[in-house]
């Protein structure tokens, strides 16, 4: 696949069969590579921003997180960024704001909460709810 944007390719430059490639080179050890180490091809969906239409976003509170990895497992868009089984943030280029991560978060209060898209993350963290009393 050429490095040109796919929308600029002429008919004779396309790969026959409407094939899109994930990586620019063969990858034998993809499971050992983190997302930012992988040689993503321009045609890989990782290269496209699909979070543009989000109206609510999840905000993540490190102080409350127990690194259970539930959010990482359940996220349908691989938008939870995790390193060495530790939650470190959210990929806002791909998160569509579905709220599943918040739904599965088991802490009290939740360490992931949905806020309106325009809310500043610092502001969101400052307004975090207290632990519920039993």
The footprint of another protein (CB under 8 A) covers 6-7, 9-12, 14-23, 26-28, 30, 43
Residue (68 or 78) nearer to another protein, CB? 78
Tell the smallest beta-carbon distance from residue 40 to another protein (Å): 11
Tell the smallest beta-carbon distance from residue 106 to another protein (Å): 33
**Cα 14 from chain centroid?**
29
Which 3 state secondary structure label does DSSP give 89?
A: strand
Tell the smallest beta-carbon distance from residue 4 to another protein (Å): 12
Tell the smallest beta-carbon distance from residue 30 to another protein (Å): 8
Residue (11 or 53) nearer to another protein, CB? 11
- Residue 93 has a CB neighbour count (10 Å cut-off) of 14
Residue (47 or 117) nearer to another protein, CB? 47
Contact 64, 131 (CB under 8 A): no
Q: What is the DSSP letter of 28?
A: S
- Given the DSSP bridges, would you call strands 80-83 and 86-90 parallel, antiparallel or unpaired? antiparallel
């Amino acid at each position: 696949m050429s490095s040109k944007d796919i929308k600029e390719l002429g008919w004779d430059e396309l790969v026959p069969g409407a094939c899109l490639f994930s990586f620019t080179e063969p990858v034998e050890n993809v499971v050992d590579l983190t997302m930012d180490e992988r040689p993503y091809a321009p045609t890989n969906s990782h290269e496209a921003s699909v979070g543009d239409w989000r109206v609510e976003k999840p905000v993540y509170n490190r102080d409350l997180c127990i690194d259970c990895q539930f959010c990482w497992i359940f996220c349908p868009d691989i938008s939870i960024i995790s390193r060495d089984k530790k939650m470190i943030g959210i990929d806002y280029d791909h998160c569509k704001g579905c709220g599943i991560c918040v739904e599965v978060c088991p802490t009290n209060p939740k360490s992931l909460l949905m806020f309106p898209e325009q809310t500043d993350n610092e502001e969101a963290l400052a307004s975090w709810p207290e632990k519920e009393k039993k």
